[in-house]
Amino acid sequence: MFGILTAGDSTLTRRASKTRRLSRRFYQTDAASLAQKLLGQFLVRQLPGGIRLSGRIVETEAYLGEPDQASHAFGLRRTARNEAMYAKPGTAYVYFTYGMHFCFNIVCGKVNEPLAVLIRALEPIEGVERMREQRGPRIPDTGLCSGPAKLCQALQIDRDLNGIDLVSDKRLWLERAPNAGLDDEHILNTPRIGIDYAGSWAKKPLRWLIRGNPHVSRG
């Protein structure tokens, strides 16, 4: 208690973060648009004990719901697992897969319109040493959050955060970055990863990444 504050945890930083949090309006759009708008923005995790972790979003994928064979909500499939996809824009959809991994998505569009953006990679910014404790002591910065399950492990995102509102929750939210809103020349658009089963939808270019960024899951 009453310890010296580190630079990253300063009162100034925390006050600024309040005014920069992304609002409901930001998420009220289609998944492809949101996926691009998210590049360069900050994902922030507040841990119990006051530790703040954050990263800059460098890779995203859009999942388009009803018509999208790769979406958990394909054909408006609605189950206990994907219920959060039908909630309001700005809701977190966190799911568990392969018996050991979590993935984090941001719901967009409108209520009952199950659109989402998968966050696939971050450039670690705050709390890098804490992330290394979560992920492994020898992992380089470029490997800490370079995949959808890696970033969940690094930021301690699990099923407890499924369904939370990113506009108001105290544990996880997004912040507007000063220099986000990248020009097209700095963005690469490719097919999505790991959805070979999705027929013609497997080929659609619904993945976006910051060109040349070393923190992405694959070049």
Partner DNA sequence: CCCGTGATTTAT
Partner DNA sequence: TAAATCACGGGG
Please give the Cα distance from 104 to 173 (Å, whole number): 12
Torsion angle, alpha carbons of 134, 121, 117, 196, to 10: -100
**The binder of DNA chosen from 36, 41, 54, 71 (CB under 7 A):** 71
Q: Tell me the H-state helices in 21-70.
A: 24-27, 31-38
Among the listed residues 99, 137, 140, 178, the single contact to DNA using CB under 7 A: 99
Task: State residue 71 phi and psi, 5-degree precision.
Answer: -80, 145
Asked if 200 interacts with DNA (CB under 7 A), we say no
Write a three-state SS string for 142-180: HHHCCCHHHHHHHHCCCHHHCCCECCCCCCEEEECCCCC
Q: What is the DSSP letter of 28?
A: S
For position 29 contacting DNA by CB under 7 A, the verdict is: no
Using the contact rule CB under 7 A, the part of the chain among 39-47, 125-133, 135-143, 168-176 near DNA is: 135-143
| Span interacting with DNA, options 48-56, 91-99, 125-133, 183-191, rule CB under 7 A | 91-99
Could you say which of 6, 23, 97, 112 contacts DNA (CB under 7 A)? 97
Helices (H), the chain: 11-20, 24-27, 31-38, 128-135, 141-144, 148-155
Taking the complex as a whole, the smallest distance from the CB of residue 118 to DNA amounts, in Å, to 3
Cβ proximity to DNA, 103 vs 167, nearer residue: 103
Taking CB under 7 A as the binding criterion, the range among 34-42, 126-134, 143-151, 170-178 that sits at the site for DNA is 143-151
- Does position 79 bind DNA by CB under 7 A? yes
The contact set with DNA (CB under 7 A) reads: 61, 63, 70-73, 77, 79-82, 85, 93, 95-101, 103, 105, 116, 118, 135-136, 143, 147-150, 159, 192-195, 197, 217
